[in-house]
């Protein structure tokens, strides 16, 4: 069999082209990892590890891929910065208490 997108020769039983990722056997439904519910759950739970699946998803437009990528980057930065700010506050409070008690 020959891929209709890239023209490479592939096996007859393959569901997608190993060279370009084009789906060959269209049964009308995307695999579970390309469906919207799995993308949104993946963004919430594994964040930046979803970026390759987002960019390979044939159902998403370039604009939507860019928006989801931006959301992932902002979400990841927030999850990294908030704990650092909280720890900074805790350390400052502990340092202030040590200075107030005179035990240093």
Phi-psi region of 17 (alpha: psi -120 to 50; beta: other; left: phi over 0): beta
Q: Rounded to an integer, what distance in angstroms lies between the CA atom of residue 27 and that of residue 14? A: 14
Output the pLDDT for position 26: 59
Are 10 and 18 in contact by the 8 Å Cβ rule? The answer is yes
Closest CA to 27 of 15, 12, 39: 15
22-81 pLDDT, tens digit each: 777 655 577 888 888 888 899 889 989 999 989 888 888 899 999 999 999 999 999 999
Output the pLDDT for position 37: 87
Which alpha helices (DSSP H) does 27-61 contain, by range?
36-46, 51-56
């Amino acid at each position: 069999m020959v891929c209709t997108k890239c023209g490479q020769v592939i096996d007859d039983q393959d569901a997608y082209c190993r060279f370009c990722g084009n789906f060959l056997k269209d049964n009308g439904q995307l695999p579970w990892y390309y469906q919207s519910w799995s993308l949104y759950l993946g963004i919430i739970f594994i964040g930046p590890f979803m970026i390759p699946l987002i960019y390979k998803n044939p159902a998403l437009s370039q604009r939507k891929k860019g928006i989801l990528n931006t959301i992932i980057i902002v979400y990841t930065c927030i999850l990294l910065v908030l704990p650092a700010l909280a720890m900074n506050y805790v350390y400052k409070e502990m340092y202030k208490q040590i200075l107030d008690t005179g035990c240093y």
